[in-house]
Amino acid sequence: MISRDEYLKMPLKERFIKLDPEGEARAEELHNNSLVIDLHTHVLIEDFHAFLPRIQRSGVNGLFEAVGAVEEDFALSMSHLGRYMKEIEKHPDFVPALCAQDFLDAKEKGKQAVMFQLEPQSFGRNVDRADIAYGLGIRMALLVFNTRNYVGDGCGERTNAGLSYLGLELVERMNELGMLIDLSHCGIQTTLHAIEASKDPVMFNHVGARVLYPPMKRLKTDEELLALAKKGGIAGVSAIPNQLSGNVEQGIEDMLNHIDYIVKLIGVDHVAIGLDIVFGDHVEYHRRAAKTTFKLDYIGQGLDAPYMYGIESPEEWPNITRGLVARGYSDDEIRNILGGNALRVIKEVVG
């Protein structure tokens, strides 16, 4: 495996899955003409302006940008939200999304729509903060991030207690508001309790299948995935290095393996994409974060692979479409995975 520096020097096309001429044309048409939604992004960062052309080249029409303070500080999280809103207002090709139709309108106009989500959520013990966040533009919130908060247990917690009474109250409030519930970092019982309590479909917006990599607690069990589908929700498959596999060499094929497994388990109508990757060195980011903000061993993550070939940055998004073509998915199935399934749930929950 070549180094990450050598990999990034390769032309973009050389990093992509090879297709025959018919497959090339089909993948290009599908990616350009489908509604493409990434359910979990981290692109509106400090050097957003430098990455702008690469974001646009990704062909993604709708982004769910994560915003929030690691300390779960509500005021700081809302401050970050305000800054992100100002960033997209500076660019005529970006628009904020508050409902499903905003994604369709942006696609028609050749723009990119951004819907904001809280990760981690920072409501603390005050459920009324969900109303404030909604009023300021938040349309999705993660209930728990890895460890325990007032709402419930995270996937990396030493216990598996599930939702608290406050958590039940928050689920009810988010349903009333029309705010999407994300359970990506939640513990198993918290996940199952939230699915049962919610009247609306919920999301795992950046996950994979735990059966394919059992040590990784961030991945979802079959029980959780089946419960999600029964409630009408969707699972967005991620491309986070060292969370889909423990191999030294990891990449787009690992991501496609998780898509294939989840499709076979719960059906193609419940699968989407939520990359959760950055333009920088994601493995180095995790290495630094492990020293300051969260413990990787809580969730069972190593740092074996230096990067993800074929999907190392959001710019390589078209390779997902190519991979789905190569794996034999039909045009309708690919359109649903790329954005159709996400749009359906957004429309049902948010409006």
pLDDT-derived band at 212 (thresholds 50, 70, 90) equals very high
Mean pLDDT of 256-266: 98
What structural domains does the chain harbor? 21-349 (3.20.20.140)
Query: Do the Cβ atoms of 56 and 112 come closer than 8 Å?
Result: yes
Mean pLDDT of 5-10: 96
Q: Report phi then psi at 154, rounded to 5.
A: -90, 170
Query: In the prediction, which pLDDT does 140 show?
Result: 98
Query: Do the Cβ atoms of 59 and 34 come closer than 8 Å?
Result: no
Query: In the prediction, which pLDDT does 90 show?
Result: 86
For residue 292, pLDDT beyond 80: no
Whose tokens are 């990067």? That residue is 307
Left (φ > 0), alpha (ψ -120 to 50) or beta: where does 319 sit? alpha
Task: Give the rounded percent of residues in the chain with a pLDDT score beyond 90.
Answer: 87
For residue 169, pLDDT beyond 80: yes
Query: In the prediction, which pLDDT does 46 show?
Result: 65
Left (φ > 0), alpha (ψ -120 to 50) or beta: where does 129 sit? alpha
Query: In the prediction, which pLDDT does 126 show?
Result: 97
For residue 334, pLDDT beyond 70: yes
Query: In the prediction, which pLDDT does 155 show?
Result: 96
The rounded distance, in Å, linking the Cα atoms of 251 and 254 is 6
Token pair recorded at residue 252: 């787009």
Token pair recorded at residue 162: 């599930």
The rounded distance, in Å, linking the Cα atoms of 14 and 247 is 22
The rounded distance, in Å, linking the Cα atoms of 263 and 160 is 27
- Quick check: pTM over 0.85? yes
For residue 36, pLDDT beyond 80: yes
Mean pLDDT of 110-117: 97
For residue 137, pLDDT beyond 90: yes
pLDDT-derived band at 313 (thresholds 50, 70, 90) equals very high
Mean pLDDT of 218-230: 98
The residue that leads in pLDDT, 91 or 22, is 22
The residue that leads in pLDDT, 327 or 50, is 327
Give the containing element (helix H, strand E) for 33: helix 21-33
Long-range CB contacts (within 8 A, 24+) of 103-106: 103/35, 103/37, 103/61, 103/62, 103/339, 103/343, 103/346, 104/35, 104/343, 106/61, 106/62
Query: In the prediction, which pLDDT does 211 show?
Result: 98
